[in-house]
Amino acid sequence: MSTQKVVAEALGGSAGSCPYKIDKVLVESTWRPNIYIVDRYTSARGRIFLTGDAAHQSIPTGGDSMNTAVGDSFAIGGKLAAVTHGFGGRTLLDSYEYGPRPVAVRNIKRSGVHFSVHRQYIEWIPNKVKHYDAKSINSSANTPVRTKNTASK
């Protein structure tokens, strides 16, 4: 089956084939999940605060990665605003370490569940996709969250 046909079927979903003709597929690539979360959201001296992809990455289904990044930014933004206006002090900034990380861990795990729905389509057509990496795709939904050590940075 041609790449164009595979894409058309994927875009059509359960409603049938895609109503648009796909003239040309410009880029084909193999996607592999890169799932991680940092050990700490703040640097050892508390001068650097990580948010978004600098702090975590998940499977990009369901919008969890972007929503988690917005939540991180909102959390540290509110704390920074309060401190610059004389409220909360250093302990308020230190509390950033404990708020967004559990949310990110939960969202990363949920992204695997979201991806399992997409993976079902791939499993229907494994011999029809040129660049199918079954090992990385099939293990991604059950991948434990990997951490990056940021304590020394």
In the prediction, which pLDDT does 95 show? 93
In the prediction, which pLDDT does 141 show? 45
Average pLDDT over residues 39-49: 92
Tell whether the model's pLDDT for residue 51 goes beyond 90.
yes
Phi/psi of residue 42, nearest 5 degrees:
-125, 155
Entry pTM: 0.63
pLDDT digit string (tens) for 127-148?
555 444 545 444 444 444 555 5
Query: What CATH number should be reported for the domain whose range is 34-119+143-148?
Result: 3.50.50.60
DSSP string, 21-75: ---------------EEES-SB-TTS--B--GGGTEE--SSTTHHHHHHHHHHHH
d(CA 73, CA 52): 7
In the prediction, which pLDDT does 14 show? 63
Domain ranges of the chain: 34-119+143-148
pLDDT grade for 124, boundaries at 50, 70 and 90: low
pLDDT digit string (tens) for 60-119?
877 788 889 999 999 999 999 999 999 988 899 999 989 999 999 999 888 877 777 777
